């Protein structure tokens, strides 16, 4: 598979774009004309920069409003084409994109268009150049790749071929199966983009909301499967117009783009006939069976405070690391690790972010295969030298500088806790609260990191994404994206803060970057759990009494049950599958908190309750914290 990306897809100056594209691992780039026109570099210098970075110049684009013009416009547009051909030869580009005309002067007509392209093909061929024709989905006369192909077919010239763009076809709902009848050698390049499924003006949708394959809702995989059925062997190129990406890091966006193509082709190769696509080389997406542990970084003083909170939740300190300043807290199948080492990644995480849940261990079938897939998708391996005799855990660097470890049933990893921790007697007295496992983990980031996180997880793990929802915070909106697997072994809520006035934005600001903002534990009996927590001194979050009054109207709950829920601070929701109960702890100064949930067939995450919970959390923030947050509102 040959990969390419248009320079318009990433931010920065042209030299910065070229460097970012090369660093991400692409084979080539499309040069967007505006990127050339705004640089002070000569075309010859640009050519050298591209070649010095080991990249091919796959396409020069776009050439607009060419076909079916009357005179004198027709003669003028051919003169303009000759000028572009001169420029292409200086750049070392052999392919130019012509997009379907939107000119009010264009007359239309397939035969007239074919005649124009036949002449353009003759002129291009004399210079050893080629031209690809693309149907814009808002084109004046040609807005469908089937019509564009008919023009190319009737042109019948080796220098004239078709450019297929997934957005232009899929945004109009054109069946990708219509591509299969096109000869692969007549397709000169394929451009890919995904997008959220929104009903809006096609031009605005295309220019502002495209994203990487896998980040949106369009059936890009089916589009590419149809492409490869034609025998096409050329570049898969990304052309992404996105306001957020234009303001983001060029290297991050380029890396995301390359990851999206690798993941896409891995999916396509698994579902296409043998020999139609490059051989499958990646291990399977990993099935996560559960969260093995969450690790916190802290210093001694903050570790004591965290331990006190864990005791109120019914956890007990059951182990001390044999060679490190690391404690293990357990309840049910939950393992929480508190690391106060003065060196290593935990110390670095603490110095950068303060007390934080900086690492997570996931239960997978094959840790090494999961690691291999992650590295192939561009993840950075994490390898910290263990102390003598300690087990080396396979891992990668995750979102926001976090660490993700992979734990399987291999002999070394099975004996992790018994080998590395010495049993200790916890002096604190706490009642087991019946917490069973980690139900879900919430990671918070600024909204411009949300798509990166989504692609990171969905390309690595066998998970599905749920529809994105907007959570209303008194300080603004938070975009929330859930990813989960069918077994419930991995449930992540990814929350993107649009400003620092929200509770989520406050957390990211205080933590100096993305991180785990809350951990939800499951219980089979939340009322019994609430009683045990109260006996342990746990202080639940209290929402407004008006919330419970509304519950009576929404669900018709008996008065006795409502009173019990309110007394315990339990929130309630219901969906067609069943009931959901939530109990929140008080929020720390940075915005971190714990949650307890009971599911009775319920499939969601209590999104309806989020505004009431957030308002209550803001009211209960520490007095020294609340003024800082309110001042931003």
Q: What is the 3-state secondary structure (H, E, C) of 364-399?
A: ECCHHHHHHHHHHCCCCECCCCCCCCCCCCCEEECH
Query: Could you tell me whether strands 491-497 and 476-484 are parallel, antiparallel, or unpaired per DSSP bridges?
Result: antiparallel
Ranges of H-type helices in 476-608: 503-511, 526-535, 545-555, 559-568
Report DSSP state, residue 9: G
- The residues, ordered by sequence, that sit 6+ positions from 133 with a Cβ below 8 Å of its Cβ are 98, 99, 100, 117, 148, 151, 152, 160, 161, 162, 163
Q: Is 14 helix (H, G, I), strand (E, B) or coil?
A: helix
Question: Residues 154-191, buried b or exposed e (16+ Cβ, 10 A)?
Answer: ebebebbbbbbbbbbbbbeebebeebeebeeebbbbbb
Structure confidence at residue 626 (pLDDT): 42
C-alpha 65 chain-centroid distance: 36
Closest CA to 547 of 519, 526, 570: 570
What is residue 617's three-state secondary structure?
helix
570 three-state secondary structure: strand
Structure confidence by residue, pLDDT tens digits, 393-406? 999 999 888 999 99
Q: Which residues line the annotated binding site?
A: 134, 165, 191, 239, 440, 518, 595
Give the per-residue pLDDT at 624.
Answer: 46
**What residues are designated binding site for a divalent metal cation?**
134, 165, 191, 239
| Percentages (nearest 5) of helix, strand, coil residues in the chain | 40, 25, 35
pLDDT of residue 512: 85
Q: Which residues of the chain have pLDDT under 50?
A: 624-633
pLDDT in tens, 4-45: 999 999 999 999 999 999 999 999 999 999 999 999 999 999
Backbone angles phi, psi at 526, to 5 degrees: -70, -25
β 56-63/95-99 pair status:
parallel
> Do residues 64 and 101 make contact, with C-beta atoms less than 8 angstroms apart?
yes
Cα three-residue angle 116-227-8, rounded to 5 degrees: 70
DSSP H/E element including 191: strand 187-192
How many CA atoms lie less than 13 Å away from 334 in the CB half-sphere? 27
Backbone φ, ψ for residue 440 (5° rounding): -160, 160
All structural domains of the chain, each given as residue ranges with its CATH number in brackets, are 2-271 (3.20.20.150), 288-423 (3.10.180.10), 435-631 (3.10.180.10)
The most distant pair of C-alpha atoms in the chain lies apart, rounded to whole Å, by 92
Question: Residue 628's pLDDT is what?
Answer: 46
Q: How many Cβ atoms from other residues are within 10 Å of residue 281's Cβ?
A: 12
Q: What is the pLDDT of residue 275?
A: 58
Closest CA to 478 of 522, 439, 518: 518
Contact 479, 446 (CB under 8 A): no
Query: Which residues fall in the annotated binding site for Mg(2+)?
Result: 440, 518, 595
């Amino acid at each position: 598979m040959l990969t390419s990306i248009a320079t318009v897809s990433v931010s920065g100056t042209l030299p910065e774009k070229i460097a970012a594209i090369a660093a991400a691992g692409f084979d080539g780039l499309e040069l967007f004309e505006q990127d050339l026109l705004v640089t002070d570099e000569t075309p010859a210098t640009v050519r050298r920069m591209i070649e010095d970075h080991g990249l091919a110049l796959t396409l020069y684009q776009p050439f607009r409003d060419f076909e079916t013009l009357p005179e004198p416009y027709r003669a003028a547009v051919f003169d303009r084409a000759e000028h572009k051909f001169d420029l292409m030869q200086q750049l070392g580009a052999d392919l130019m994109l012509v997009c379907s005309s939107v000119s009010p002067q264009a007359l239309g007509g397939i035969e007239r268009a074919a005649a124009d392209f036949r002449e353009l093909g003759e002129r291009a061929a004399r210079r050893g150049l080629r031209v690809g024709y693309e149907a814009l989905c808002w084109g004046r006369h040609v807005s469908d790749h089937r019509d564009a192909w008919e023009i190319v077919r009737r042109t019948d010239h080796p220098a004239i071929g078709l450019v297929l763009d997934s957005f232009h076809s899929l945004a109009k709902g054109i069946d990708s199966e219509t591509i299969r009848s096109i000869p692969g050698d007549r397709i000169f390049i394929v451009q890919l983009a995904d997008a959220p499924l929104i009903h809006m003006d096609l031009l605005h949708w295309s220019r502002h909301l495209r994203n990487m394959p896998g980040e949106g809702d369009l059936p890009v995989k089916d589009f590419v499967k149809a492409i490869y059925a034609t025998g096409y062997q050329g570049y898969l190129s990304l052309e992404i117009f996105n306001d957020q990406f234009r303001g983001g890091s060029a290297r991050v966006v380029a890396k995301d783009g390359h990851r999206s193509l690798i993941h896409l082709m891995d999916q396509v190769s698994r579902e296409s006939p043998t020999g139609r696509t490059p051989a499958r080389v990646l291990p399977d997406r990993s099935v996560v069976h559960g969260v093995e542990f969450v690790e916190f970084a802290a210093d001694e003083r903050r570790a004591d405070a965290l331990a006190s909170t864990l005791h109120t939740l019914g956890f007990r300190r059951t182990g001390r690391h044999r060679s490190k300043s690391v404690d293990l807290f357990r309840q049910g199948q939950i393992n929480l690790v508190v690391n106060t080492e003065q060196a290593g990644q935990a110390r670095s995480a603490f110095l950068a972010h303060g007390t934080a849940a900086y690492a997570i261990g996931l239960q997978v079938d094959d840790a090494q295969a999961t690691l291999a897939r992650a590295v192939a998708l561009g993840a950075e391996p994490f390898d910290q030298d263990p102390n003598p005799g300690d087990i080396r855990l396979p891992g990668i660097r995750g979102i926001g500088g976090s660490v993700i470890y992979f734990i399987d049933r291999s002999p070394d990893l099975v004996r992790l806790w018994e080998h590395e921790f010495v049993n200790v007697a916890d002096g604190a007295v706490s009642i087991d609260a019946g917490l069973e496992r980690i139900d879900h983990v919430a990671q918070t980031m600024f909204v411009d990191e949300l798509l990166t996180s989504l692609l990171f997880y969905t390309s690595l793990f066998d998970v599905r994404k749920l529809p994105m929802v907007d959570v209303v915070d008194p300080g603004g909106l938070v975009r929330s994206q859930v990813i989960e697997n069918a077994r419930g072994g991995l449930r992540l809520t990814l929350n993107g803060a649009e400003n620092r006035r929200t509770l989520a934005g406050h957390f990211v600001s205080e933590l100096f970057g993305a991180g785990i903002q809350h951990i939800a534990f499951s219980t089979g009996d939340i009322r019994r759990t609430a009683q045990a927590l109260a006996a342990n001194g746990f202080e639940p979050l209290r929402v407004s009494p008006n919330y419970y009054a509304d519950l009576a109207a929404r669900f018709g709950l008996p008065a006795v049950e409502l009173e019990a829920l309110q007394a315990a601070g339990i929130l309630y929701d219901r969906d067609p599958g069943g009931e959901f109960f939530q109990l929140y702890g008080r929020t720390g100064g940075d915005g971190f908190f714990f949650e307890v949930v009971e599911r009775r067939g319920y499939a969601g995450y209590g999104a309806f309750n989020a505004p009431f919970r957030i308002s209550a959390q803001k009211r209960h923030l520490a007095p020294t914290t609340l003024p800082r947050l309110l001042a931003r509102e």
